[in-house]
Structure 1
């Protein structure tokens, strides 16, 4: 599973943002909403929609020491969970570079990625099913 995670992190596109999530998790929804509010188009891996989701979550625990989701990453670096994403979005932090946002939108438009519900039409990559 560690190799799967590393491959996802490497393929994160120009903004480099990946969120390991569960569809029913309110903290995950908050993190995704915070990212969308500033135009970030993350790769979203919904662990509860994958047959190997528990294995991925166990590998994330071994890699980060964080047991819960969301597990947010930027450019291959684990930044934490929902409150960490909130802090980075609302305090500037890692997402201050607006060029990354526009590059992410351009990448998404040319790669067939679907809109994931952000008010501004921000696309996302959804990796739900492992089959």
Structure 2
């Protein structure tokens, strides 16, 4: 859990992902198209990925635990929560407040 929270706090937007997950790719692409340069932690490519995946599962209360999106060091959630924020117009202001967007 410490590793997850430490990584999540290092950058404005951190996405915990699996390289083969289409929803992870979709969420990452959304942030890139908005002009955000997220840090993407590919759990299947990290030696401690399984440990982090379990910790994320406990935080989210579900499995699979990816994508798990953190903005400003806080857990936002998965694809459904990110898309809901985007469609309601609340994602961009949240990204600005976290310092991920300047415009």
> Which residues of structure 1 form unaligned runs of 5+?
104-131
How many angstroms apart in 2 are the aligned matches of 1:86 and 1:60? 19
Higher Rg of the two aligned structures: 1
How many angstroms apart in 1 are the aligned matches of 2:86 and 2:42? 21
Give matches, 1:42-53, under 5 Å. 42-53=38-49
Give matches, 1:23-102, under 5 Å. 23-68=19-64, 69-96=66-93, 97=96, 100-102=100-102
Shift of 1:76: 2.0
Superposition RMSD in Å: 2.0
Shift of 1:57: 0.3
Q: Which secondary structure state, in structure 1, belongs to the residue aligned with residue 41 of structure 2?
A: strand
Contact kept, 8 Å, 1:22 with 1:70, in 2: the verdict is yes
Distance change in 2, residues 1:78/1:66 (3 Å): farther
TM-score, with structure 2 as normaliser: 0.83
Deviations 1:23-67 (A, max 9, x none): 110000110111111111111100011121111100111223132
Distance change in 2, residues 1:39/1:90 (3 Å): farther
